[in-house]
Amino acid sequence: MHPSASFSAAIRVRIENHPGAFARVAAAIGETGGLLGSIDLVRVERSTKIRDVTVLADDERHLQAIVDAVHAVPGVEVVHVSDRTFLAHLGGKIEVRPRVPVKTRDDLSMAYTPGVARVSRAIADDPEKVWNLTIKRHTVAVVSDGTAVLGLGDIGPEAAMPVMEGKAVLFKEFGGVDAFPICLATKDADEIVRTVAAIAPAFGGINLEDISAPRCFEIERRLRETLDIPVFHDDQHGTAIVVLAALLNALRVVDKRIEDVRIVTTGCGAAGMAVTRALIAAGATYVVGCDEGGALYRGRTDLNDAKREYAEMTNPDNVRGTADELLAGADVFIGVSVPGAISVEGVRRMAERAIVFAMANPTPEVDPESIEGLAEVIATGRSDYPNQINNVLAFPGVFRGALDVRARTIDEAMEVAAARAIAATIPVEELSADYVIPSVFNRSVAPAVAAAVAEAAVETGVARRSLAVPEEVSV
């Protein structure tokens, strides 16, 4: 484990005002393995000083151990402890702000009644004008039922809200897209489809998030059939785009072609299905997916509909066996499953210059440090290892591009274009085993993805407008 800001606190302490007093506090933090952050002087009293001390820990238990250690320092009073992550969520992380002033009667008469009636009439006469005259053109609904939230599972719609708010923050920060969390108090697929379809007129796109498999497949399919705006299940397609981007660059590093490599995957749910579809769309010819029962093959009797579909489009030789067994001679392993899905010995049997993407979070399918030297390129879903596979590289730019051309859907061509755009943000001469995917803070990624997605949407005919056409302003 590594100290992280996600487990950090500001500890307000009253310390005796004499040399060496704070050194004892710092020593207590260090001895418990905590990371000392900022130290701020709050005020000076007659014989004491009050300071805010920021500490970073590995997890909640470690954070409490640090606080207890500071409590135990002679001459130090812990005034209070503020969890910085909880502080960041007070009152929520997003808000709605007006884009026009309402300071005068004229302002009011244009923003609202009576002037707004003219705009409503114009849209009623020509519904396409909703794209120019409302927030629809830059707004996405982030929809969840709270059944598959991060690694927490089915925690309900209320508990899903902080995650969906966070998603909205990322949409705005990286893509300039206004997103709003819609957390639904139902798990019924029919009701979810009806509800999302009913609210769709207000949005330019729908981002489905943290809905458990296999319902997520049906919900996305039905909404795509019903709506004329993009419907994008990020757990599937966002993951697939970033995995493909990283793989394209990893293959350049090891000097192999996607058409030639043997790929073994673990995890055949929402993300696994989408990753595999993206690989095949990009030219992969040999993919074998495995679940806890081993390889998915045609004729296997315990598969649900989604896994039978997976087996039909993969495993060209209809091989059987465990993931570990099938790694023998494989060039690439991609895991979107569970810790321990493969072993070090399995990786050892892979082909030379192997690629391993072990993305179970927070504990990967195989310990990355234990396979150093066995696999040439290693990627995970964690920020404390090189090559983090993170969906934030994809969804802001994907939706930005789709909205810019008012796309009716997001198709495979747009997804592959997004992956290639992400990969291309790293110049070939800078690629290395530890650098096959750009940082999430690389500000060139989202614009590059948006441009590539918009172009692909125009080429495949799902765009309502071309970027070359100026915006219509007359009514």
* Cα 170 to Cα 24, 173, 202, 284, 374, distances in angstroms: 40, 5, 20, 31, 35
Q: 49, 93, 103, 112: which is the annotated catalytic residue?
A: 112
3-state secondary structure of 407: coil
- Please, which residues have CB within 8 angstroms of residue 337's CB and are 6 or more apart in sequence? 266, 267, 272, 291, 360, 365
Structure tokens at 107: 């302002």
Select from 469, 464, 468, 474 the least CA-distant residue to 137: 464
Residue 5: other Cβ atoms inside 10 A: 13
Own/partner long-range contacts of 348-353 (Cβ < 8 Å, ≥24 apart): 348/374, 350/374, 350/375, 351/262, 353/254, 353/255, 353/256
Strand partners, 290: 266, 295
3-state secondary structure of 357: strand
Question: Is position 112 annotated as part of the catalytic site?
Answer: yes
3-state secondary structure of 182: strand
Own/partner long-range contacts of 45-51 (Cβ < 8 Å, ≥24 apart): 45/14, 45/17, 47/16, 47/17, 48/14, 48/15, 48/16, 48/17, 49/14, 49/15, 49/17, 50/12, 50/13, 50/14, 50/15, 50/79, 51/12, 51/13, 51/15, 51/22
Question: Is position 167 annotated as part of the catalytic site?
Answer: yes
Select from 194, 228, 169, 166 the least CA-distant residue to 402: 228
Cβ(397)–Cβ(418) below 8 Å: yes
Q: Position 350: which residue type?
A: M
- Please, which residues have CB within 8 angstroms of residue 281's CB and are 6 or more apart in sequence? 412, 413, 415, 416
Structure tokens at 447: 């614009």
Structure tokens at 174: 């990286």
Structure tokens at 277: 């579809």
3-state secondary structure of 461: coil
Distance separating alpha carbons of residues 186 and 154, to the nearest angstrom: 12
Q: 136, 167, 286, 307: which is the annotated catalytic residue?
A: 167
User: What positions carry a catalytic annotation?
Assistant: 112, 167
